[in-house]
Amino acid sequence: MNDFDIGQAVEKLGSWQEETYKWLHRHPELSMAETETCDFIYQQLQDFGYETQKIGGGVVGVLQNGSGKTTLFRADIDGLPVKEETGLEYASTITRPDKNGNEVPTMHACGHDVHITAGLGAAWVLSENRQSWSGTHVALFQPGEETAEGAKSMVADGLVEKIPRPDVAFGQHVLTGPMPTGSVGTHSGAILSTGASLKITVHGKGSHGSMPHMGVDPVVLASAIVLRLQTIVSREIDPFKMAVVTVGSLQAGSKSNIIPERATLLVNIRAYDMQVRKHLLAAIKRMVNAECDAAGSPEPAEFELYDSYPLTNNDAETTKTVTDAFIAHFGSERVGDCGEVPASEDFSTIPDAFGIPYCYWGLGGFREEDPKYPNHNPKFAPIMQPTLATGTEAALAATLAWLGK
């Protein structure tokens, strides 16, 4: 690689990057409905000289610049149905229709606006400095990460056939901790958990509250299930392996003296091991079915799996190359090991579709002395700088480790 100065190149983005970030933050869109966002990204990439197309609800730009490797940098683009409470002068105040047609407050409460801005910034720098690298860069902007739909949608719409096959893929996520803004963190192996949600419906037999003997109470049944599920992690999973089973919702009935016909539970699981994930799902079904039998439920339980996320498992060799590139650019004091993060992502669906290695890393977004609000919180607000510059420089450092002359 030559002596191309990534930092100086990113400085030339000037006010464009911050104004772009503010516009994106003010105009969030919900998963799989990112029309304005895609139009904006599409136009930017075309202005940068990329061959641009919309695929599966997202946008892909391809910049070919001679012979060499092909890299893919992915950024997710959707917002969340959260009412913003940051107090920022560029805060989102808009609402968007959800999938049921209800107008809901919408916010970039997970930093995807940071990811877009960094991805676009890196795309511009590569376009403006073609003499410093050789190969092909793919700038991919993916919809629907928050619902685990977007990566699948792009693959289903022919992503693998429509763009050059990358040799490697990259992604990043701005995080509340443990890294301060201005720093990055890599991790070899499993970095983000596999995750999934289950909607479980159990059936009872309705009756008057004064005549419980004539019914089958699904509230009692569901309560027993909640308690029983707590034993999966504590009694069935190896203590040295991570697993989470959370019952986030239990809904049943509408009146104190009516035994309802059914109860619905929403359950979420997390794991860093696909065999552990398989065990969790099997154990949940086993316990639910057993409790239904014990209660004399008149109908079998119903299970609906949704928001299913793959494991994000960084390739060791690729991660070492990226980490070395980060240390060379940022210095060792700004690069660390972010460890395993219990959140989940659908990023790996894209490199897995191509059968290529990948590296996904964490990006610090907050000063150590500032109050910390987690992703998805109404007050989640990464510090604009140096977060944007660091995210852009990280994308470029990783990319140029493959494309640099």
The set of catalytic residues is 76, 146
Start-to-end CA distance of the chain, whole Å, equals: 5
Distance CA 225, CA 230 (A): 9
Distances (CA, A) of 344 to 103, 248, 266, 373, 382: 27, 16, 17, 18, 20
DSSP string of 93-153, one letter each residue: --EEE-TTS-EEE-B--SSHHHHHHHHHHHHHHHHHTGGGB-EEEEEEEE--TTTT-HHHH
Residue pair 362/170 in contact (Cβ under 8 Å)? The answer is no
Two tokens at 244?
Answer: 């989470």
Q: Of how many residues is the chain composed? A: 405
Q: Which residues contact 278 (CB under 8 A, 6 or more apart)?
A: none
Distance CA 146, CA 38 (A): 16
Residue pair 172/360 in contact (Cβ under 8 Å)? The answer is yes
Distance CA 188, CA 177 (A): 18
Scan for tokens 């966002």, then name that residue.
37
Q: Which residues contact 89 (CB under 8 A, 6 or more apart)?
A: none
